[in-house]
Structure 1
């Protein structure tokens, strides 16, 4: 009986996809961008790093996220507090990092020295995407959670389904709002600091 169960699992294995998910705590909240475009891309900053706020100490990458602010009717701003993702332990705000295996048999390699990547267009001030379902439009989406992190089990993947929108939700979200940021799965391997064209 155990062999039958193992054989059943073995037949499913080729269709399985690897996923790594871990939390990174918030370190500081500052009014400046720690990313410097003039940084020397020949430096291997993760190798030079001596600490991390992530659960896995082997990950010394520098993850940066923008802070979200609410504008009051009187014109003042309040920073929206970050909360930990569900079932990730007890990180202090921060973020959850997902590494998901590509489904099209792409070769997976480690990041090269000097690797940098950014998502989205910082100059975009309104939703001007020609195709609302394009990769560009879906690069940054927002998940509106119901009470107790309620979501729609029909759409478990971020960026899909009626709960994820390319604009901030227009209604109150009892369980909070999650930003989904999707990085491309490829880059210029010869010049890792250049944008994808």
Structure 2
């Protein structure tokens, strides 16, 4: 049975909570948090996680799915961001593919590639330890967002230190984060980073803006967050996404005038509007068990290593799929992005 985890060699990434891959389950215009019931939603998303994903998700989705594209078999949560496109000088668009985080590694050279997707984190303190605070797992039905597609300036985006980009010089580059898209070609692509708030009001599973029930004390870059305020006293796991975009595939088509050619699927060419959605779906008490265990990365469970969580192979992750509700062209060269007839700058 082919598996994909290696013990992480780099000391700076050798421990601290959960860190795992999820392959893609869908690319389509649905957003059950911000636009529940809208078929289609306003712009295209890339989605990973459980196969219960649909336009009107409610309740305990951990009990509704039958498979997941995430490494941990008890995680039926859904995680999604906008899709990234390359905009050609002639005005057409092409989807930028994702690639797996190299730091997760493989045990066998013949192991299959993870199908798109992203890397998911649930940390407690920072990347060096779990700290001594009690971490409360999210309850069934919990959801939240971070960032906003309406953010158009550095002034607004600077208030969200957990949203950033790294111009990858190699597949192992980390740090050197910017709040906007890199302005020159990146040799190994662009990594988009989304850190969610980790202080909860302890009462509301959601809020009208999908953010007010949470409070952000994070400093970005997995640094230790400040204490939670009295208004949001419950410390929950620090959820973060990393998505590796293969922008280097378009290096020979970089515009002659040197302008930055990548845009989110809602036609944001600056990058300040980057945002992400989260819908909790861990089965039973599995996430709380992991948080109580204080395990570190692979020690929480990986193929061939016993842990508090169960894992699956890459083949099993990639096999989990759903049928798209919204059927439209998202691949190839497009004259305009789905749902975006008038480009915004």
5 Å matches for 1:116-131? 116-129=143-156
1:13-92 matches, within 5 Å, as 18-35=16-33, 37-38=35-36, 43-88=59-104, 89=106, 90-92=113-115
Q: Are the structure 2 counterparts of residues 34 and 81 from structure 1 closer, same or farther at C-alpha, using a change threshold of 3 Å?
A: farther
Alpha-carbon distance change, 106 to 121 in structure 1, aligned in 2, over 3 angstroms: farther
Change (3 A) 1:125 1:32: farther
| 1:149 matched to 2:147 | no
1:170 paired residue number: 183
Gaps of 5+ in 1: 1-15
- C-alpha change, 1:37 and 1:112, in structure 2 (3 Å) is farther
Check if 1:95 corresponds to 2:118.
yes
Greater strand proportion:
2
Distance in 2 of aligned mates of 1:106 and 1:22: 23
Q: What do the CA deviations read for 1:76-111 (whole angstroms, capped 9, x no partner)?
A: 111111111113243111000011112664320111
Q: After superposition, give the CA deviation of every residue in 1:101-132 in whole Å (9 maximum; x if it has no partner).
A: 126643201111210011101211232338x4
Q: Is the 8 A contact 2:21 2:117 kept in 1?
A: yes
CA contact (8 A) 2:99 2:117 kept: yes
Q: In the aligned structure 1, how far is the partner of 2:58 from the partner of 2:23?
A: 27
In structure 2, C-alpha distance between the alignment counterparts of 1:35 and 1:119, rounded to whole Å: 12
**C-alpha offsets along residues 26-72 of structure 1, whole Å, 9 cap, x if unaligned?**
12222343545447886111222221100111111011122101111
- TM-score w.r.t. the length of structure 2 is 0.44
SS in 2 for 1:23: strand
**Mapping 1:127-138, distance limit 5 Å:** 127-129=154-156, 132=158, 134=159, 136=160, 138=161
Distance 1:37 1:118, change over 3 A: same
Q: Secondary structure at the match of 1:22?
A: strand
CA shift in 2, pair 1:60/1:80, >3 Å: same
Contact 1:17 1:101 in 2 (8 A): no
Question: What is the CA-CA distance between 1:17 and the residue it aligns to?
Answer: 6.8
Contact 1:145 1:174 in 2 (8 A): yes
Provide Cα deviations, 1:5-30, integer angstroms capped at 9, x if missing partner.
Answer: xxxxxxxxxxx973211000012222
Contact 1:46 1:62 in 2 (8 A): no
**Secondary structure in 1 aligned to 2:69?**
coil
CA contact (8 A) 1:41 1:193 kept: no
CA distance in 2, matches of 1:76, 1:24: 30
Tell me what 2:243 maps to.
none
**8 Å contact 1:69–1:77 — kept in the other structure?**
yes
In angstroms, what is the RMSD of aligned CA positions?
A: 2.5
Per chain length, whose mean CA-contact separation is higher, i.e. which structure has more relative contact order (CA < 8 Å, sep 6+)?
2
